[in-house]
Structure 1
């Protein structure tokens, strides 16, 4: 019998965790909103994704943000390359490092 109680205990812990984190309330409100739609959307999963995501953030916003991330990554890569180039050009101009005097 103890074998059957362990999974139930874990399941109950997980359920409390989801409730405490607000996941159950969020899912419930989204499903209620879907239920109350006079015309059900063709893609229920997309409806849930849109309503669970960041409020006010739509697919166009997400796409714009993804493009901005790509642009910033490319810019960062170019700047890192430029930085390496400038360091390489500066290296011959730097005075040689003096060796520290031996400890007495």
Structure 2
């Protein structure tokens, strides 16, 4: 009988862990989404994997695209800053040109 209580205790501890982590709620939401899907997918496990975020392993191309995106964002920020500086410099010279035209 003591062996049964130990197993039950571990099971109860694991159940509390899952509930604290939100696993039952997440699984319920995904299963409800599958239930409400008008056209049932060919593969229910694939549907579940996709909606749980484990559809496909990281593609090596994705990492290279992330790096490229980071580089492009950095260059974009540099160009925006340069544009801002050039506009400031231009604004200093524009009033001088307007004065020359007035003469």
Could you say what the CA RMSD is over the residues aligned between the two structures, in angstroms? 2.5
Counterpart position of 1:27: 27
1:72-91 equivalences under 5 Å are none
Deviations 1:55-81 (A, max 9, x none): xxx86xx54xx3143687xxxxxxxxx
Pick the aligned partner of 1:67 from 61, 75, 80: 61
Counterpart position of 1:15: 15
Alpha-carbon separation, structure 2, partners of 1:53 and 1:68: 15
Residue 41 of structure 1 aligns to a residue whose secondary structure is coil
Alpha-carbon separation, structure 2, partners of 1:37 and 1:68: 29
Kindly tell me the number of residue pairs found equivalent between the two proteins.
65
Which structure dedicates a bigger proportion of its chain to helix?
A: 2
Instruction: Tell me which structure has the larger Cα radius of gyration.
Output: 2
Gaps of 5+ in 2: 68-103
Counterpart position of 2:84: none
1:44-59 equivalences under 5 Å are 44-53=44-53
Alpha-carbon separation, structure 1, partners of 2:37 and 2:43: 13
Gaps of 5+ in 1: 73-104
TM superposition score normalised by structure 1: 0.53
